[in-house]
Amino acid sequence: MRRLVPVMVVVLAAGCGDTPLEAGPGPESAPTSAATYPVPAVTVRPDEKALKIPTTADGDTAFTLIGLTTEMPTIIGSHAEFHAKGQFVRVRMSVINNGRSSVSFDARRHVMIDDRETEYTVDSQAMTIKRQPETIDLGANVRLEYDVYYDLPKDAKPLALRVYGGPTLTDLKDQSSTEIPLAQP
């Protein structure tokens, strides 16, 4: 009986406090009484800028852009060193399937848009060297965090990321997309 009392006190204190519960990396959480998972914070990489961009949905998939790295001349993997034609741009993102069933998620379909409104596809060689996912079965309520790499001209500035969440009942071919600005106005 003594063991139950401290546990109940902790649960009540966590649910009734005036301070919002931490939701981990991503946008700052609004005050809520709903319980949240204790997702551990991850240190931003030395060359990376933490992004504070609200989570954006595309169909049943929610995207949170959490990190941006620009002006990378070279990437190094376990088996190769690869030089950019211009500069590598890396976007760290969290993806969650909020749907009730799994979705065939193409982790390399996203498109980078620069300040000249030029579009860039994911650099497949960089993604392979850095061992990032391709098309995966993203289960219901599954969260995935990974990097996407682009090779942009040296003077280009990344402006937005066009994301594709995977097929849904209303978009079976996943033709619609959502653009997420890389900076808040």
Tokens matching residue 43: 């240190």
pLDDT for 22: 40
Of 89 and 27, the one with more pLDDT: 89
Give which of 29, 28, 30, 35 is closest to 51, Cα–Cα.
28
Alpha-carbon distance 62 to 142, whole Å? 11
Neighbours of 27 (CB within 10 A): 14
Residue 11 clears pLDDT 60, i.e. is over it: no
pLDDT for 38: 87
Q: What is the mean pLDDT of residues 86-108?
A: 93
Sign of torsion, CA 115 95 46 111?
negative
Q: Are 75 and 129 in contact, with CB atoms under 8 Å apart?
A: yes
Give which of 97, 171, 110 is closest to 137, Cα–Cα.
97
Give which of 29, 96, 112 is closest to 57, Cα–Cα.
96
- Per-domain residue ranges for the chain? 1-41, 42-181
**What is the CATH code of the structural domain delimited by 42-181?**
2.60.40.1240
Q: Are 117 and 157 in contact, with CB atoms under 8 Å apart?
A: no
Q: What is the residue-averaged pLDDT of the chain? A: 83
Residue 90 clears pLDDT 50, i.e. is over it: yes
Q: What is the pLDDT of residues 135-182, one digit of tens each?
A: 999 999 999 999 999 999 999 999 999 998 876 655 656 677 889 999
Q: What is the pLDDT of residues 17-57, one digit of tens each?
A: 443 334 444 445 556 678 988 888 899 999 999 999 999 99
Q: Give the residue ranges of DSSP H helices in 46-144.
A: 124-129
Give which of 48, 119, 47, 131 is closest to 82, Cα–Cα.
131
**The model's pTM:** 0.78
Tokens matching residue 55: 């989570």
